[in-house]
Amino acid sequence: MSRKPTPSPSPEAVLEGLMDRAARAGSGEYEVMVGRGRSLAIAAKAGRVDQVRRSEELAASVRLVSQGRLGFAHTSLFTPEALDRTVAQAAAGAELTDPQPGLGLPGPPPGDWPVVETNDPGLDDVSLENKIDRLLEMEAAALEADPRVEKVRSAEYRQGRYAVWLANGHGLAYHHEGTVVSGGLTVKAAEDGEAEMGYESEACRFYDRLDLKAIGREAARRAVAALGGRPGRTGRFPVLLENRIAAQFLDVLSSSFLADAVQKGKSMLAGRIGQTVAAAGISLVDDGLYPAGLATSPADSEGTPRQRTVLIDRGRLAAFLYDFPRARVDGTSSTGNAGRGGVTSPPGVSTTNLYLSPGEIEPGDLTSRIDQGLLVTDVMGLHTADAISGDFSFGVSGFWIQGGRIAHPVKGMALAGNLFTLLEHVAEVGADLRFFGSVGAPSLLIEELTLSGM
C-alpha cells in the first residue's frame, strides 16, 4: 500500500521552528529568513506553444552572530531533524569563521514599514490560455512588422510570485510579497543575403502593464534597422549612447558606490565625497521605494526600511550605499541596501532601483546636435570592462550620424575609453529614462570617445 507524501509545512511554521531552535542555540544574535517562490514559463515557436514549465520552491536560512563571527546555513527540507541540523551547522560556523568588522543584526524600525506597489493580486486569476494567446500575439506582431523578418528564433513569457518572511532575536518581524512578469523574443531579419538578429524584452510588476505586442514590434524594428551595416569612421567623435547602453554602462559602475567596495579599496570613488565626479547634468539615484520598481520592497534583506539615496547630486558625489554591518564600520546608518542572491545566500551590500535622472531633451533632438558621430545601440563584450578602474574597449554597433541625421547602420566598430571619465564628459542628458531590469538611464550624449574599425 502506497503512503501519501507528507505535506510541506507552512512558511510561518518553518520560521517559528527555526527561530525556536536558533534561540536555544545560545550563540548570540540570530535571524531566520524563509522564502517561497512560484514561477511559470511559456515558450513558443512557429505559432505554437513549445514548452510550459511550472515550479515552486520553499527554502529557509539561519544567520547566527557570535563575537563578530558569522554562522550561516540553509535548507529546503523541513523535518524536525533537518531544522535541527540547519541550526547546528550555523552554530558551528559562528565558532569557526573569522570575525568580521561591524557584524551584527538590526532591531525593528521605529515606525511602520513603507507602503510599496509590488504585488499583482489578480495575476493568478488570469488563465493560462490568456497568457498563451498573448505570447503568440507577440510572436505574430514581430513577423507582421516587416516582410524582412524571416522568423522568430525564440519567444517566451515568464511570471513569478514570491514571498519572504524575516525575523530576528531583536524582535524584528517582516513579511513581503511581490510579482514579476516579463516577455522577450529574438527575431531574424534578412535582405540581399545578409541577416541580422534583433532582441527585445520587458519586465514589470503587473500583468496588464506588460505590452507583449510592442515587444514583438520593437525586436523586429531593431533587427531590420541593423541590415546594411558597415564600419564608420576612425577617430575621436561625439557618441550618443542609447538609454539601454547607458544603463549597461551604469550597471558596470554600480559596484563603485557600494560601501564594502569602498572600505576594501576597490572603488575609485573612495575618499571623494563632495567632489565633482561627473558632469553637472548627472544625478544618480538609488531608490528602494521607486513606484513598482523591480527592486522595490518595504525593507532590505536585513529588515532595514528601504529609502531613496542620491549618490551623485548634479555632478558631485553625495553618498555611498550601506547595509547594517558596513554602516557600523563607518559610524553611519544603513541606507537599506542589504541584498541577497536568494534565501540560500547571506546578505551583502547591493543596489536597488539605480537610475540616472532624466533631462529634458528627446533622443531625436540629441541626434540633431551631432555633426558627425555614432549612435550606439549594442555592445559586445561589456563584461570585459574593468569595474574598478572603469577602463573599457569593446565592439559596438549602431548608426552613423551625419549632419544631425541618421546616415547608415554601423557594425564592426570598437569603442574605447573610461567609464568614470565618460560621466565627466556627458554633454547632454536625454528625457527618455527607461529601466532595464532594476537599472535605468536616459540617452547620454558624450562629448568625444575613441572609435576605430575592427
Does the structure show a pLDDT above 70 at 100? yes
The CA distance from 199 to 222, in Å, is 7
Q: Please give the Cα distance from 336 to 39 (Å, whole number).
A: 27
Show the cell assigned to 133: 494567446
Q: Provide Rg for the chain, Cα atoms.
A: 25
pLDDT band at 382 (very low <50, low <70, confident <90, very high): confident
Q: Flag whether pLDDT at 168 surpasses 60.
A: yes
Amino acid identity at 280: A
Q: How many CB atoms lie within 10 A of CB 12?
A: 11
Sign of torsion, CA 423 424 425 431?
positive
pLDDT in tens, 429-440: 999 999 999 999
Terminal-to-terminal C-alpha distance of the chain: 70
Containing 22, the helix (H) or strand (E) segment is: helix 11-25
pLDDT mean over 110-127: 95
- The predicted model scores a pTM of 0.95
User: Is pLDDT of 240 > 50?
Assistant: yes
Task: Classify residue 217 by its DSSP letter.
Answer: H
399 and 407 Cβ atoms separated by less than 8 Å: yes
* Mean pLDDT within 226-239: 93
DSSP 89-136: HHHHHHHHSPP-TT-------SSPPPP-----TTGGGS-HHHHHHHHH
pLDDT band at 342 (very low <50, low <70, confident <90, very high): very high
The residues pairing with 235 across neighbouring beta strands, listed in sequence order, are: 451
SS (H, E, C) 260-316: HHHHCCCCCCCCCCCCECCCCCCCEEEECCCCCCCCCCCECCCCCECCEEEEEECCE
Structure confidence at residue 4 as a pLDDT band (50, 70, 90)? low
Q: What percent of the chain has pLDDT over 90?
A: 92
**CA–CA dist 221, 213 (Å, integer):** 12
Using pLDDT thresholds of 50, 70 and 90, give the confidence band for residue 385. confident
Confidence grade of residue 5 (pLDDT, cut at 50, 70, 90): low
Residue 163 in grid coordinates: 514571498
Strands 235-241 and 372-380 come out as parallel
pLDDT tens digits for 128-149? 999 999 999 999 999 999 999 9
The pLDDT of residue 454 is 59
Mean pLDDT of 366-389: 92
Closest C-alpha among 94, 85, 84 to residue 63: 94
d(CA 393, CA 154): 30
Q: pLDDT tens, 249-285?
A: 999 999 999 999 999 999 999 999 999 999 999 999 9
The chain-wide mean pLDDT, for the chain, equals: 95
Cα gap 431→441, rounded to integer Å: 9
Specify the amino acid at residue 107.
G
| Average of per-residue pLDDT across 391-419 | 94
Asked whether the predicted pLDDT for residue 1 surpasses 50, the reply is: no
The Cα–Cα gap between 182 and 205 comes to: 9
